[in-house]
Amino acid sequence: MKQKQQKRRKSSNVLLDTALQEFYGAADEMGLSERLISILSHSERRVHVSIPVEMDDGSVEVFDGYRVQHSTALGPSKGGIRYDTEVDMDECEALAMLMTWKCSLAGIPYGGGKGGICCDPLNMSKREKEKLTRTYAARIEPILGRWSDVPAPDMNTSGQEMVWILDTVSKMRGHLEPSILTGKPVAFWGSRGRNEATGRGVATCGLELMKAIGRNPDTATAAVQGFGNVGSYTAKTLNDAGVKIVAISDITGSYYSSNGIDIRKAFEAVHKHPKKLLEGFDKIGNCEKIENDLYADAEFLFPCARDGVINRKTAGKIKARYIIEGANGPTTPDAEEILQASGVMIVPDFLANSGGVIGSYFEWAQNLQGAFWSEEEYNSRLIHIMKGNFRRVWDYAEAKKVVMRRAATMTAIQRVADVVEMRGMFL
């Protein structure tokens, strides 16, 4: 039975609109049925909570918190919780959809989710952040569960926030629930290797790309935007493999050296800084400050900071020939068109940064068994899966003559669509 085309969703939020239009484009190219297009273009659940926090000065501020479960077709919805001033329901929905494709493509048994709180974490004390996190945890507790929704860290959150959430939920339920969250510290049910996993995976994709195009890492140059969890370990892993990192950056600015940045020194500088920033690194790191490391003279660019940075305004100034997306959604569709026209190749976010969630899957699986793997086992499994996934998308893109993002989206949608058909419509 042929179904007439349903009304297609549009959004004024750039990230959500991009996610929707990429989904529709890929779905049409695959010939996906209208039934499945309608189902998969909507999220199963969108939760909005208010979070009152008594601030250190005695005033009360009420923050908005969100958790979106885009799909639980393949398994529990999986995805991070971020703290940022830009967080809203649409952003979480876009990122949750991206997680559905990421988990599907990665071949792990999860659906996609994302959550966050609209706040300015860099200007909050630890006490304020603890109260914020615990009240958020209590308010989304009904939807969390090892078989329903399993969050992890994301932008501006880390193992500490995961422990606060885990502790709050465990106290409410009267028993410890280690497998409802991943990205926990190694000392408390975490996995050795998880902290570095996203960056290690991004770098692995970069190195596989170099292999595929016949480029020697020892003579390659790269710029890495962002020196948080993803960017720092991306830079370190690339550097350990012989790649010269000519530029790094964070919110304090971009730092450049044509001789290559000393990444170990950058780690030391960040470690010593009270807010874990690169501030002042030009003085101690033998490098200069530049306008924006996106435009640095490097062949490979790794945007590992935030969404939307490669846009209509910035795309034309990028010198790199290859972009490997460490952040979620760093390239807008109009920028992608500009870059494609000039022959720039992009390895899409949900392939390149899937090391984090693959590592999360390892942690969850270990928690369910009460077992612990060695760091070597964790890393070798991670790298093996990342290499295989890169190759699969590369080959599919070559065979179908489509760009890697389209190839990855189509592969990912197919698995979810097949399972929705098998399970039936009510999931």
Contacts of 423 (CB under 8 A, 6+ apart): 73
Kindly list the catalytic residues. 114
Q: Which residues bind ligand GLU (CB under 6 A)?
A: 78-80, 152, 154, 182, 328, 353, 356-357, 360
Q: Shortest approach of ligand GLU to residue 284 CB, angstroms?
A: 31
φ/ψ of residue 109, rounded to 5: -85, 55
| Residue written as token pair 């990342």 | 386
Query: If residue 106 lies in a helix (H) or strand (E), which one and from where to where?
Result: helix 89-106
Cα(363)–Cα(359) distance, integer angstroms: 6
**Closest listed residue to residue 115, CA positions, set 45, 38, 19:** 45
CB nearer to ligand GLU: pick between 182 and 411: 182
CB nearer to ligand GLU: pick between 76 and 217: 76
Q: Shortest approach of ligand GLU to residue 349 CB, angstroms?
A: 8
CB nearer to ligand GLU: pick between 285 and 355: 355
CB nearer to ligand GLU: pick between 220 and 357: 357
Largest Cα–Cα separation, the chain: 68
Q: Shortest approach of ligand GLU to residue 273 CB, angstroms?
A: 23
Q: Shortest approach of ligand GLU to residue 355 CB, angstroms?
A: 9
Q: Got the DSSP string for 339-398?
A: HHHTT-EEE-HHHHTTHHHHHHHHHHHHHHHT----HHHHHHHHHHHHHHHHHHHHHHHH
Cα(401)–Cα(173) distance, integer angstroms: 52
Tell me the three state secondary structure of residue 240.
Answer: helix
Q: Does residue 325 contact residue 301 with C-beta atoms inside 8 Å?
A: no
Cα(308)–Cα(283) distance, integer angstroms: 30
Query: Which position's Cβ is nearest ligand GLU?
Result: 80
CB nearer to ligand GLU: pick between 285 and 356: 356
Q: Does residue 171 contact residue 328 with C-beta atoms inside 8 Å?
A: no
CB nearer to ligand GLU: pick between 261 and 385: 385
Query: If residue 208 lies in a helix (H) or strand (E), which one and from where to where?
Result: helix 194-212
Q: Shortest approach of ligand GLU to residue 4 CB, angstroms?
A: 36
Q: Shortest approach of ligand GLU to residue 244 CB, angstroms?
A: 27
Contacts of 100 (CB under 8 A, 6+ apart): 40, 70, 71, 73, 74, 111, 112, 412, 416
